[in-house]
Amino acid sequence: MPLANIEKTFMDNLLKSSVKESEFLTQLLPLSSLTKEKQLSIYKSNVNGAYQKVLGQVYPACLNILGEDYFNQLCRAYRFKYPSTDSDLNNYGEYFTVFVKEQSDLHDELNDFEYLAELALLEWHWHASFYADNDSSFAFEKLAKVEPSEQNILIFILSNSFSLHSSIYPVLDIWKANKSSVEGNQEFSMPEAETYFCISRVEFTPKITLLNNYQYELLKSISNGLSLTQLTERDFIAAGDFQNELTRFIQNGWVTGFSLLELRD
Amino acid sequence: MDVFNQKRLNDKPISGTGIGLRSPHVNEILTDLPEIPWFELLADNHLVEGGLIPLQLEKICQHYPVTFHSVGLSLGSVDPLDMNYLAKLKKIMKQYDIAWLSEHCCFTSVAGFHSHDLLPLPYSEESLSHMVNRISQVQDFLGEQILIENVSSYMKFAETTLDEADFISELAEQADCLLLIDVNNIYVNHINQGIDIDNYLTSLPAERIKEVHLAGFDDRGDFILDAHNNPVAEPVWKIYESLIQQIPHVPTLIEWDNDIPSLQRILDEAQKAEVIADKYRSGNFNYAVS
Ligand SMILES: [Fe+2]
C-alpha cells in the first residue's frame, strides 16, 4: 500500500468513529507481545488521552461538574465530531462550547446542567484570553484628528483578549467553585437578574469584570460594529454616560483602537 | 551547510546535560536562575505571539542557551509542509537566537487532520525518499541543518524493509541532516519490537549525532509506553553509557513531561547523566538549584 494510503487509513482509524479497522490492519504484522489490533489500540488510546488532557485543562469546571467518566465520554465523542485541524493544540477545544450545546439538546442526563454551554463558553474565553495576540495601544492623537463628518464611518476595535458574556444562571459562582476544586460546591441560587460580565487580559492574566446593563449593551453594540454615529443615535446609549463609559473601556484595555470604514457607494 | 551550523553551535554553547523546560518550573527558574547548562523548549508551545509566553521565552533566552524541539512539522506526512508554521518557527528562532531545531522521524497530521501524537512510518524506500525530500525543504527554508529524532513505535508495518537504525542513518546521510538519538526510545522499541540494541548503536553515524535524549517509560504490562513520566530506567542508563562513550561531548537532555516532579528531581537525573558522560571526557558541571 502506498505511504499516502497508509497514513490516511491510520489517521481515519484514530479520528473517525465509523471506520472498519480491517483495511489498516492488513498493513500491520503482529509483534510477539502485541497483536495488530493491540498495536492500533495503543495509538487510539494515546490520541484520546492527549485530547482528554488538553480539554480537561481548558474546561476544568466542566470536567469537575460532569465527573471524569462522563467528561471523557464527551471528549471521545468530540474527537470524532470535531477532529483537530490545527497544529496548535491550544486551539483544539474551540468547538467544545458548540458541542456541549449540541449534546445538551440531545441528552436528557444533561438537563440538570442547563448552564453548561455558558460555563464552557466562559472557560474557553478564559483560556483564549491568555494566549490572545497583544493589542496596540489606543491612538488618541489619531482620534483627535477624526473629522465630525467621519464619525459615521468610525468603528471601535475591541481587544484581542476581550469577550462579552451574559447569563441567567450563576455561571460565575459555579465556575469559581469548580475550576480548581475537585469537590466544588454544587448548590447555587439563581441570580435575580441576568448577569453581565466580560473577560480580558490585564497584563498577562485573564480577568473577569462584572458589567451593568448599560455597559453590556454598549460593548455589545461596539462588538457588532456599529459606527460612532450609530452608537450616539441609539436612544438608550444617548440616555447614559457614553463619553465616560467609552473612556473607561479604553482605560481598561477593552477598546484598543478604531478604524475608519471605507464608504460604500 | 555543516560549516554554517558549526558556527551557530559555537555561538551558543549547548553542552553538558540540559533539561526540557516545562511550565511548572518556569517561575522558579526565572526567579532563582539556577545553574543549568541549557534548556530545550517545546517549540509548539512558544509560537504564540501575545501574553506571557513570549516574555518568558525572551527571559529564558537571556540567561540560558536554548534549543527548540517541535512536534508539529509532521515531516513524514504526505500533506504539503505547513509553511505558516515553519515561517513562525524561523522567525522566533532568529529572534531569540535558538541554537537548533529538532523534530521527529514520524508524521502527526494528514489530510488536514492532526493527531497530536507521534505516528510511526513504515521504514520503506518510499518513506525514506519522502522524508529526505521534506527534511531538505525544511533545511533549505531555515538555512540550517535540523536534528531528526528516532521515535518510539508500537507498530510493525508490512511495508517496512529497513531496520530503524539503517533508516535513520540513511536519512541523515541523504538529507544531510543531524541526529538526536533518544535512548529511551531505543529501549522501548527493543522491548516492544525486539530491535537489537548493539546493532542499532553501531549502525548510527556518530559524527551526525548532536544531541541525546533520556526519559522514563511507563510499564503497561504487555508493552512499555514512552510516557516521559518516570525517572530514567536502569537498562536505559546502560544503553546511554554505551552510546555516550562513543560521543562523550555530545549534549544530553532529560525529558520529563508527565507527573512532573520538582526541578531538583529532574536535575538529579541530569547530574547522573553528567557523571556517566564525564567518565569519558574532562570537565564536569555541578547542578544546584539554589
Ligand atoms: Fe525524545
Task: Tell me if A92 sits within 8 A of A86, measured CB to CB.
Answer: yes
- Exposure of A88 by Cβ count < 10 A (0-12 exposed, 13-18 middle, 19+ buried)? middle
Query: What phi, psi does B86 have (nearest 5°)?
Result: -65, -40
- Exposure of A264 by Cβ count < 10 A (0-12 exposed, 13-18 middle, 19+ buried)? exposed
With CA atoms as reference, report the closest residue to B18 among B32, B30, B6, B34: B34
| Ranges of H-type helices in B23-95 | 23-32, 52-63, 83-95
Query: What phi, psi does B185 have (nearest 5°)?
Result: -65, -35
pLDDT grade for B285, boundaries at 50, 70 and 90: low
With CA atoms as reference, report the closest residue to B287 among B24, B38, B4, B12: B38
Q: How far apart are CA B90 and CA A249, in angstroms?
A: 37
Task: Tell me if B187 sits within 8 A of B143, measured CB to CB.
Answer: no
Which single residue is written with the C-alpha cell 522521524? B105
Q: How far apart are CA A244 and CA A28, in angstroms?
A: 68
B127 and A3 within 8 Å at the Cβ level: the answer is yes
Distance from CA of A126 to the nearest CA of B (A): 13
Q: How far apart are CA A209 and CA A214, in angstroms?
A: 14
Task: Tell me if A13 sits within 8 A of A21, measured CB to CB.
Answer: yes
Strands B113-119 and B66-69: unpaired
Domain residue ranges of chain B, discontinuous segments joined by +: 7-278
- Nearest by CB: B109 against A50, A87, A131: A87
Percent of chain B with pLDDT over 70: 93
Give this complex's ipTM. Answer: 0.91
Percent of chain B with pLDDT over 90: 92
Residues sharing a CB contact under 8 Å with residue B133, sequence separation 6 or more, in sequence order: none
Q: Is B83 on the interface with A (CB under 8 A)?
A: no
Fold assignment, B7-278? TIM Barrel (3.20.20)
- Exposure of A105 by Cβ count < 10 A (0-12 exposed, 13-18 middle, 19+ buried)? exposed
With CA atoms as reference, report the closest residue to A155 among A239, A265, A246, A216: A246
Q: Is B130 on the interface with A (CB under 8 A)?
A: yes
> Mean pLDDT across the stretch B165-180?
98
CA angle B12, B13, B14 (to 5 degrees): 105
Helix H or strand E encompassing B114 = strand B113-119
A14 and B115 within 8 Å at the Cβ level: the answer is yes
Between B13 and A81, the higher pLDDT residue: A81
SS3 (DSSP) at A236: helix
Cell of A133: 495576540
- Exposure of B285 by Cβ count < 10 A (0-12 exposed, 13-18 middle, 19+ buried)? middle
pLDDT, chain B, mean: 93
Q: What is the pLDDT of residue A181?
A: 66
Q: What is the pLDDT of residue A189?
A: 76
The residues in A 172-231 lying below 8 A from B, measured between CB atoms, are: 201, 204
Task: Tell me if B111 sits within 8 A of B80, measured CB to CB.
Answer: no
Q: What is the pLDDT of residue B4?
A: 40
Contacts of A2 in chain B (CB under 8 A): 126
Q: What is the pLDDT of residue B58?
A: 95
pLDDT grade for B288, boundaries at 50, 70 and 90: low
A1 and B127 within 8 Å at the Cβ level: the answer is no
Q: What is the pLDDT of residue B70?
A: 97
- Exposure of B158 by Cβ count < 10 A (0-12 exposed, 13-18 middle, 19+ buried)? middle
B51 and A131 within 8 Å at the Cβ level: the answer is yes
Q: Is B4 on the interface with A (CB under 8 A)?
A: no
DSSP state of A149: G
Task: Check pLDDT > 70 for residue B222.
Answer: yes
The residues in B 145-204 lying below 8 A from A, measured between CB atoms, are: 154-159, 192-194
CATH of the domain spanning A133-265: 3.90.930
| Ranges of H-type helices in A32-191 | 36-58, 60-66, 68-81, 96-106, 116-131, 140-144, 171-178
Q: What is the pLDDT of residue B83?
A: 96
A34 and B74 within 8 Å at the Cβ level: the answer is no
Q: Is A80 on the interface with B (CB under 8 A)?
A: no
- Nearest by CB: B110 against A11, A30, A87: A11
Between B8 and B140, the higher pLDDT residue: B140
Task: Tell me if A46 sits within 8 A of A30, measured CB to CB.
Answer: no
| Ranges of H-type helices in B115-260 | 125-142, 164-175, 183-193, 197-203, 234-244
pTM over 0.95: no
Task: Tell me if A25 sits within 8 A of A36, measured CB to CB.
Answer: yes
**Mean pLDDT per 10-residue run, chain A (265 residues)?**
96 93 96 96 95 95 93 94 92 93 84 88 97 94 90 94 95 91 66 91 95 96 94 88 95 95 61
Report the chain B residue with the minimal C-alpha distance to residue A54.
B116
Distances (CA, A) of B73 to A85, B155, B284: 14, 21, 35
pLDDT grade for B161, boundaries at 50, 70 and 90: very high
Q: Is B112 on the interface with A (CB under 8 A)?
A: yes
Q: What is the pLDDT of residue A191?
A: 79
Q: What is the pLDDT of residue B251?
A: 97
Domain residue ranges of chain A, discontinuous segments joined by +: 1-131, 133-265
Strands A195-202 and A205-211: antiparallel
> Mean pLDDT across the stretch B3-13?
49
Q: Is A148 on the interface with B (CB under 8 A)?
A: no
Q: Tell me the per-residue pLDDT of B235-276, one tens digit each, with 9 for 90 and over.
A: 999 999 999 999 999 999 999 999 999 999 999 999 999 999
Distance from CA of A190 to the nearest CA of B (A): 35
Maximum alpha-carbon separation in chain B = 53
Q: What is the pLDDT of residue B6?
A: 43
CA angle B237, B238, B244 (to 5 degrees): 80
Q: What is the pLDDT of residue A106?
A: 85
Contacts of A88 in chain B (CB under 8 A): 44, 47-48, 72
Interface probe with B: pick from A36, A42, A202, most Cβ of B within 10 Å: A42
- Nearest by CB: B156 against A3, A29, A51: A29
Between B287 and A160, the higher pLDDT residue: A160
Q: Tell me the per-residue pLDDT of B82-130, one tens digit each, with 9 for 90 and over.
A: 999 999 999 999 999 999 999 999 999 999 999 999 999 999 999 999 9
Query: What phi, psi does B87 have (nearest 5°)?
Result: -65, -40
